[in-house]
């Protein structure tokens, strides 16, 4: 054995890589003919010698004789599939790679070429296994970044043309994942679906035979499906995994455009193969001599401790590795945003007044949303014209920002740089800057078209507009919105063979513009938004500090949206506003009490979106008290471990708990939707506390001191009365 790192071991004979994390093992190897094949992913393999002892790999199989290999491996109870399957030979499933070589050959055979173990800039072990095509000048680097303490692997691939002639890629996915073969049960899929105002709805479905596809073809991540999956093992006797127990394999893709995750099941024994990456529908990429195509990362993990642990591992990975480092450890400020009150109807004077009132509440970041630029009195005009409206702000933004800063708040601004209205100076000057097909209509959404960021001059224009705004004004935060999916995805000026590259080029240009602006203005924080939560994914979380999950701010609906969000994404990144009790979008038309609205919104990054002009002194004092309370628990909510104690999907009661990593403090939110049938009280059992320590419990009728053990076994009895009742309970270890 060649011991390269405790997390990455290579056994030269017979040619096996064992990736080990605290609690999991991931094993793959090379067969005698050089194929790199997956062997195992799941609970830890305790003794590395076992790997060789089992003689896991197939022997002496000729290239292309896939059946021989498959039968040999199946007899050993293993997954007989290539680690990164290419389309060719007898492979009929979803290929990670589909390429066309010179002369139209579309059959690929990838074999082992070399491998290397490195350390990433963030100190993590990284394995790179390079495959090469047996005949044509193509190489694929398979990257495996191991996050040992979080039981995660981040994988991506680099496809390289090492020859002179062009190679066309029709699919280049990030990674393939293979689950262990099992019998007497079925893998069950958990994923997030939705639509505008109803994002991140959790669904559990038994995986049917054949292929299940989760995807977006919209050039944005989409509200309809989120690039996250979890699979657990379900059987009729024991059911599937729960929040805190059971085996779960899970993953999320770091890509903010069109994407695809396919899950293929074949039964007896149950086998599941997952492939994911940039959507291949409509995808084409030309690899010229010496060129490379780098796929987005696909991060996945395994846990034996249920969906809750899967989420906590993903959350910690975002806090410790993924979120932009400049802000990752900073607490997210309390926001005020008047969008839902005034929409486009405001001016300098109104904003001055709002700023005074917001400061009294304890707001830390005062934001002006859509409407501050061009002639923007409605959503029909001015997208693209990023100059301050002379009508609304005759003195520019300067005086307002100065006032906001004097009041002790930071100032933030909304932009939607990827969109343009036909009625704008930008579109009049550059009608060719939008995606379009000649002689076809240019479909509009909210009267907006989509700028073609694949064109370098468009990306430069956007950079320059933002650069100017940020250099001339003391802006601390940008809300970067994007409010439409793509239609007529044409780029008529580009050479025909490059026209379909827009899906990738748009997203990489977006990331690049934001990264360049971040580098130049490191103090600025960035929020991603897309008609609510239509661009929520690990790609955005790598480049932005927080995300707007939904335009639906109804506090009860939000419990469901926020729960789904938390399956994959960290609470710190999730922005929740308390809005008018009837909701600006008049969603559900229900007037709920302030306490419940705050308790619903306090579970991530808090914002207020109410009409502050309507506040009475008493109401203002109440709001200020909630904001003070939020600030006191904010470090636990934003940086703690989340336990979804009771799901709102199960009934009338819901509960969430956030525990500080050292288990010295925790907060519990309990919500009750409806009181009916003389609702008998239910105890809520906590998780993740130190059983040996005593905790002071505040927020019940009287303060008590109880052991962590009892809180986790007997549980708490929250006192809730009436409909839409809620409680916030604080625990402090003594
Ligand atoms: C989108 C966002 C909202 C708001 C409006 C402004 O709908 O989701 O939060 O910013 O755009 O037009």
pLDDT digits (tens, 9 = 90+) for 7-47: 999 988 778 999 999 999 999 998 878 889 898 999 998 77
Place 585 in a pLDDT band, splitting at 50, 70 and 90.
low
Q: For strands 365-368 and 335-337, give the pairing.
A: parallel
Q: Which range has the top average pLDDT, 4-18, 53-67, 404-418? A: 404-418
Average of per-residue pLDDT across 539-544: 98
Report the candidate in 288, 258, 290 with the shortest Cα–Cα distance to residue 276. 258
Cα dihedral across residues 387, 525, 564, 337: positive or negative: negative
Neighbours of 55 (CB within 10 A): 10
The finding on whether 528 has its CB within 6 A of some atom of ligand 1 is: no
* Known catalytic residue at 551: yes
Q: Please report the atom of ligand 1 found closest to the CA of residue 369.
A: 10
Q: What is the DSSP letter of 244?
A: S
Average of per-residue pLDDT across 426-432: 98
Place 375 in a pLDDT band, splitting at 50, 70 and 90.
very high
Whether the bond into 14 is cis, omega within 30 of 0: yes
Mutate to test the pocket of ligand 1, among 481, 531, 553, 583 (most ligand atoms within 8 A of CB): 481
pLDDT of amino acid 679:
65
97, 21 contact by CB (below 8 A)? no
Buried b (16+ CB within 10 A) or exposed e, 559-568: bbbbbbbbbb
In this predicted model, which residue has the larger pLDDT, 239 or 530?
530
Q: Please report the atom of ligand 1 found closest to the CA of residue 530.
A: 8
pLDDT in tens, 300-358: 999 999 999 999 999 999 999 999 999 999 999 999 999 988 999 999 999 999 999 99
How far apart are the C-alpha atoms of 27 and 56, rounded to whole Å? 10
When the pLDDT of each residue in the chain is averaged and rounded to a whole number, the result is 93
pLDDT in tens, 502-530: 999 999 999 999 999 999 999 999 999 99
Average of per-residue pLDDT across 53-69: 50
How far apart are the C-alpha atoms of 138 and 84, rounded to whole Å? 14
How far apart are the C-alpha atoms of 275 and 264, rounded to whole Å? 9
The finding on whether 177 has its CB within 6 A of some atom of ligand 1 is: no
Distance 415 CA to ligand 1 centre (A): 10
How far apart are the C-alpha atoms of 362 and 385, rounded to whole Å? 33
pLDDT value at 63 more than 50? no
pLDDT of amino acid 62:
38
pLDDT value at 1 more than 60? no
Q: In the chain, how many H helices and how many E strands?
A: 15, 38
Please report, rounded to a whole number, the percentage of residues in the chain having pLDDT higher than 90: 85
pLDDT of amino acid 226:
98
Residue-level length of the chain: 734
pLDDT in tens, 245-285: 999 999 999 999 999 999 999 877 788 999 999 999 999 99
Q: Which residue has the tokens 């708040």?
A: 409
Question: Distances in Å between the alpha carbon of 663 and those of 644, 659, 694, 708, 734?
Answer: 16, 6, 11, 10, 11
Could you say which of 551, 554, 557, 641 is catalytic? 551
Place 61 in a pLDDT band, splitting at 50, 70 and 90.
very low
pLDDT value at 68 more than 80? no
pLDDT in tens, 77-94: 655 579 999 999 888 899
pLDDT of amino acid 77:
61
The finding on whether 531 has its CB within 6 A of some atom of ligand 1 is: yes
Nearest CA to ligand 1 atom 2: 531
pLDDT value at 571 more than 60? yes
pLDDT value at 100 more than 80? yes
Confidence (pTM)? 0.96
How far apart are the C-alpha atoms of 1 and 10, rounded to whole Å? 6
How far apart are the C-alpha atoms of 396 and 298, rounded to whole Å? 44
Q: For strands 138-147 and 24-30, give the pairing.
A: unpaired
Burial class (CB in 10 A: 0-12, 13-18, 19+), 128: middle
HSE (side-chain half, CA atoms, 13 Å) at 377? 4
In this predicted model, which residue has the larger pLDDT, 76 or 675?
675
Nearest CA to ligand 1 atom 12: 370
Mutate to test the pocket of ligand 1, among 197, 337, 338, 369 (most ligand atoms within 8 A of CB): 369
How far apart are the C-alpha atoms of 618 and 9, rounded to whole Å? 64
Average of per-residue pLDDT across 162-176: 98
pLDDT value at 713 more than 60? yes
pLDDT of amino acid 681:
73
pLDDT of amino acid 680:
66
């Amino acid at each position: 054995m060649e011991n390269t790192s405790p997390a990455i071991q290579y056994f030269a004979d017979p040619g096996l890589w064992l990736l080990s994390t605290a609690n999991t093992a991931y094993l793959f190897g090379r067969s005698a003919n050089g194929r790199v094949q997956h062997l195992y992913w799941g609970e830890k393999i305790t003794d590395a010698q076992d790997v060789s002892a089992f003689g896991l790999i197939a022997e002496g199989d000729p290239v292309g004789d896939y059946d021989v290999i498959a039968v040999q491996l199946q007899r050993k109870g293993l997954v007989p599939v290539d680690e990164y399957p290419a389309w060719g030979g007898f492979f009929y499933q979803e290929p990670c790679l589909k390429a066309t070589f010179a002369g139209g050959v579309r059959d690929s055979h990838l074999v082992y070429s070399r491998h290397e173990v490195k350390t990433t800039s963030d100190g993590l072990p990284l394995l790179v296994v390079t495959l090469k095509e047996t005949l044509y000048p193509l190489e694929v680097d398979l990257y495996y970044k191991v996050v040992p303490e979080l039981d995660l692997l981040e994988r991506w691939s680099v496809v390289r043309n090492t020859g002179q002639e062009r190679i066309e890629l029709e699919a280049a996915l990030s990674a393939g994942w293979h689950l262990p073969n099992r019998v007497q049960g079925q893998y069950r899929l958990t994923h997030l679906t939705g639509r505008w105002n109803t994002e991140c709805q959790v669904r559990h479905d038994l995986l049917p035979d054949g292929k299940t596809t989760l995807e977006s073809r919209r050039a944005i991540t989409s509200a309809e499906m989120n690039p996250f999956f979890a699979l657990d093992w379900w059987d009729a006797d024991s059911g599937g995994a729960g929040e805190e127990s059971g085996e779960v394999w899970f993953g999320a893709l770091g890509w903010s455009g069109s994407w695809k995750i396919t899950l293929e099941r074949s039964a007896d024994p149950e086998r599941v193969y997952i492939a994911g990456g940039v959507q291949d529908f409509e995808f084409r990429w030309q690899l010229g001599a010496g060129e490379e195509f780098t796929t987005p990362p696909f991060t996945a993990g395994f846990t034996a401790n249920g969906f809750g642990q899967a989420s906590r591992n993903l959350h910690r990975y975002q806090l410790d590795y993924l979120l932009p480092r400049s802000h990752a450890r900073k607490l997210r400020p309390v926001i005020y945003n008047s969008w839902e009150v005034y929409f486009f109807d405001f001016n300098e004077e109104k904003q001055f007044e709002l700023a005074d009132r917001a400061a009294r509440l304890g707001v830390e970041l005062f934001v002006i949303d859509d409407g501050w630029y061009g002639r923007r009195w409605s959503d029909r005009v001015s997208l693209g014209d990023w100059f301050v409206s002379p009508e609304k702000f005759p003195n520019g933004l300067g005086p307002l920002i100065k006032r906001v800063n004097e009041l002790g708040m930071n100032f933030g601004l909304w932009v939607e740089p990827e969109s343009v209205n036909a009625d704008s100076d930008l579109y009049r000057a550059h009608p060719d800057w939008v995606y379009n097909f000649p002689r076809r209509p240019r479909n509009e959404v909210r009267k907006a078209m989509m700028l073609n960021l694949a064109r370098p001059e468009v990306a430069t224009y956007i950079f320059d507009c933002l650069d100017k705004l940020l250099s001339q004004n003391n802006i601390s935060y940008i809300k970067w919105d994007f409010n439409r999916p793509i239609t007529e995805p044409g780029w008529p000026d580009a050479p025909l063979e490059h026209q379909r590259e827009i899906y990738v080029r748009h997203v990489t240009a977006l990331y690049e513009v934001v990264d360049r602006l971040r580098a130049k203005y490191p103090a600025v924080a960035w929020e991603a938004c897309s008609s609510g939560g239509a661009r929520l994914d690990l790609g955005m979380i790598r480049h932005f500090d927080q995300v707007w999950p939904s335009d639906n701010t109804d506090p009860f609906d939000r419990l469901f949206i926020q729960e789904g969000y938390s399956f994959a994404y960290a609470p710190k990144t999730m922005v929740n506003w308390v809005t008018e009790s009837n909701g600006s979008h008049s969603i559900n038309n229900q007037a709920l009490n302030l306490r419940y609205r705050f308790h619903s919104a306090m579970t991530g990054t808090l914002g207020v979106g109410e009409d502050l002009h309507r506040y009475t002194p008493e109401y203002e004092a109440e709001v200020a008290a909630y904001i003070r309370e939020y600030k006191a628990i904010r470090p636990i909510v934003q940086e703690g471990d989340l336990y979804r104690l009771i799901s709102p999907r199960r009934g009338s009661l819901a509960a969430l708990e956030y525990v500080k990593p050292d288990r010295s403090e925790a907060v519990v939110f309990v919500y009750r939707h409806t009181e009916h049938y003389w609702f008998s009280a239910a105890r809520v059992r906590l998780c993740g506390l130190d059983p040996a320590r005593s905790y002071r419990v505040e927020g019940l009728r009287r303060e008590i001191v109880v052991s962590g053990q009892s809180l986790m076994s007997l549980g708490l009895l929250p006192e809730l009365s009436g409909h839409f009742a809620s409680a916030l309970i604080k625990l402090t270890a003594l």
